[in-house]
Amino acid sequence: MIVVLIGYMASGKSTFGRILAEKLNYDFIDLDDYIEEKENTSISDMFTLKGEIYFRKKETQYLTHILQNKKKLILSLGGGTPCYSINMETVLNSKDVVSIYLKATIPTLVSRLKNEKAKRPLIAHIKTDDLLAEFIGKHLFERAPFYNQADKVILTDNKSEIEIIEDILLQLF
């Protein structure tokens, strides 16, 4: 089985993905890290030097490759991955794949992201918490139709890591 974690940035995809992989004795891949390794450059540099279209094509290519060639895997997608090309359709139609949307509210995402802005180019320019909330709200509105197609939805607000991992495991088994 491959478990694909989707959700907005700071929803916990990589954090919970690593923990889940360890608990299940599965491999873990963060798609963004995988792309950077395969392309031998950062995503930020890829956007700057080759453009977003190049990145999105590579993202789809690597996602498809991983889903066709791996087993016993926890795969964390980038926040935008499900929203581009046929990526969500690919996830949903792949054999032995379960997709899980790690859903967090805007206030939760703001609290997780406000001190991480420097590490996240998409939001680095946003000056206030109110503007960050507005930005996240617009993004979630656009992305919700894709995220909500996931096989399972796990609400992450006001839950400990242990509770979230337990929720995921209960949904899987």
Query: Residue 11 annotated as binding?
Result: yes
Query: Which CATH code, of 3.40.50.11060, 3.10.580.10, 3.30.1200.10, 3.40.50.300, is assigned to 2-167?
Result: 3.40.50.300
Q: Are the C-beta atoms of residues 115 and 24 closer than 8 Å to each other?
A: no
Query: Residue 14 annotated as binding?
Result: yes
Given a cut of 90, whether residue 89 has pLDDT beyond it is yes
Query: Residue 79 annotated as binding?
Result: yes
Scored b (16 or more CB within 10 A) or e, 106-131 reads: bebbbebbeeeeeeeeebeebeeeee
pLDDT in tens, 56-75: 999 999 999 999 999 999 99
Query: Residue 120 annotated as binding?
Result: yes
Look at residues 10, 139, 168 and name the one whose alpha carbon lies nearest to residue 74.
168
Distance CA 72, CA 69 (A): 11
Q: Which amino acid is at 30?
A: D
Domain boundaries, the chain: 2-167
* pLDDT tier at 78, thresholds 50, 70, 90: very high
Query: Residue 12 annotated as binding?
Result: yes
